[in-house]
Amino acid sequence: MFFFFPLRDEYRVKKFPILVLSIIVINVSIFLIQIFNPDYDTFVFRYGFIPSRFSLTTLVTSMFLHSGISHIGFNMWYLWLFGDNIEDRWGRLPFLFFYLSAGIFSMLLYSTLVPEKAAGVPVIGASGAIAGILGAYAVLFPKNKITFKYFIWLFLFIIRFGEFHLYAAVWLGLWFVQQAFSTILVANELTASSVAFGAHFAGFLYGLVIGLGTKFYREAKFRANAQLGENVLFNLLGNKPHIIRSIEESVEIERAKERILSEIENNRMLAAKFYGEIVEKYPEVTLPEKIQYAIADSLYRQGEFEKSYIAYKNFVLNYTFSKLADNALLAIGKILMEKKDYQKAKYAFLQIVLFYPYSDVYEEAKYYLEKQLPKLTFKETQGFQEQS
């Protein structure tokens, strides 16, 4: 037999998921009350959602009931593993609203899909709400790698175990297809199951739609804010240079670019060195978006701050609407701090805070702006006064 489950994802959150942990604690506490209740069946029929006996109250209460250790165990693990990413991205109150609404929607749609003979059976569990989280995760973090632990066993002997990786979009896409197929079979009474596949299907669909909506909104705001901050950006970095080169110079630049592009996959440090050499002569040289950023990042890590600054500057001026523009601005701010150009560093961090409010580096830029820069500026002022 073969069994596998998700162990971890590669995305790291910036804030501790307090709300996710709180929901887990509430679920576990209610589960303990539930299993030690002497009248367990009455408890489930009272607070579980029964499609044939519609109740607004049980739409919510049913989300906090579970049928056994494995049921609550897997649900809470999935919530912890993927819910923290959504809470981190959206914030606590929006996440709470999303979690509850996903659970409610999943139950409502499930009640229209369930066969009539099962309409009187109470449905319990957070699976619908968690399926909503999985749907949103598939949209917001499709390229995140999920690490799975697998076991292959025969009777009581484990034959083999290990780990493998899948992109979130691949695994969750396959999971959704399985839930949709099972929902169709159960709805048409071609098979029977104690698992509410319809709730899983509905929850995932809800998360998918909400995730897409927020993603499109965020991208639209990102472009609008970047456009709004373009003038401030040019004040910080200067206008994009329009230099007319001779044929010989153009040929030299193109050859240098080809050299860098051919080396980037094998030796990024060497490619960065080649770029550093060419921008000493032609400072406007810019490579394709992702390669330009990788070169700038490599130069920064090597401590080549001046050349790194040029690389980041060219990146931002040429790829203003890039998803990495805010990261490049953060690096520029740090380089300017190293150069003790605190005024320009302030503008770089302020650019992120004002015009990239949905940025992953927003909090870090705010920290430098509000904590680090005032401290460094104060030290500089004190040093000047002591010398005077």
pLDDT in tens, 90-117: 889 999 999 999 999 999 999 988 888 8
* Residue 378: per-residue pLDDT: 60
For 83, the token pair is 């819910």
Supply the pLDDT for residue 300.
93
The pLDDT tens digits for 37-87 are 888 888 899 999 999 988 999 999 999 999 889 999 999 999 999 999 999
Interval 263-277 mean pLDDT: 92
Round to whole Å and give the CA distance between 330 and 377: 18
**pLDDT above 80: residue 160:** no
> How far is the C-alpha of 7 from the C-alpha of 4, rounded, in Å?
9
pLDDT at 381: 56
* pLDDT, average across residues 266-275: 93
- What's the rounded mean pLDDT across residues 227-250? 76
Q: How far apart are CA 197 and CA 203, in angstroms?
A: 10
Q: Which residues of 206-231 are buried (b: 16+ CB within 10 A; e: fewer)?
A: bbbebbeebeeeeeeebeebbeebee
Q: What local confidence, expressed as pLDDT, does residue 179 receive?
A: 93
Strand partners, 150: 4, 162
Average pLDDT (12-20) is 85
- The reported pLDDT for the residue numbered 310 is 93
Residue 175 clears pLDDT 50, i.e. is over it? yes
Contact 106, 132 (CB under 8 A): yes
Assigned token pair, 293: 């950023």
What is the model's pTM? 0.72
Confidence of residue 384 (pLDDT cuts 50, 70, 90): very low
Look over the chain and give the mean of its residue pLDDT values, rounded to a whole number: 87
User: Burial of 137 by CB count in 10 Å (0-12 exposed, 13-18 middle, 19+ buried)?
Assistant: buried
Q: DSSP string spanning 75-118?
A: HHHHHHHHHHHHHHHH-HHHHHHHHHHHHHHHHHHHHHHS-GGG
**According to the model, what pLDDT value does residue 375 have?**
77
Distance between CA atoms of residues 209 and 236, nearest Å? 39
If we measure between CA atoms, which residue out of 111, 94, 109, 106 comes closest to residue 131?
106
φ, ψ of residue 364 in degrees (nearest 5): -65, -45
pLDDT of residue 304: 92
Gap between the Cα atoms of 65 and 44, Å rounded: 8
A 10 A CB-CB count for 293 gives: 23
Residues counted in the chain: 388
> What domains sit in the chain, N to C, each tagged with a CATH number?
2-222 (1.20.1540.10), 229-387 (1.25.40.10)
* Secondary structure (3-state) at 298: helix
Between the CA of residue 118 and those of 42, 68, 73, what are the distances in Å? Answer: 18, 20, 25
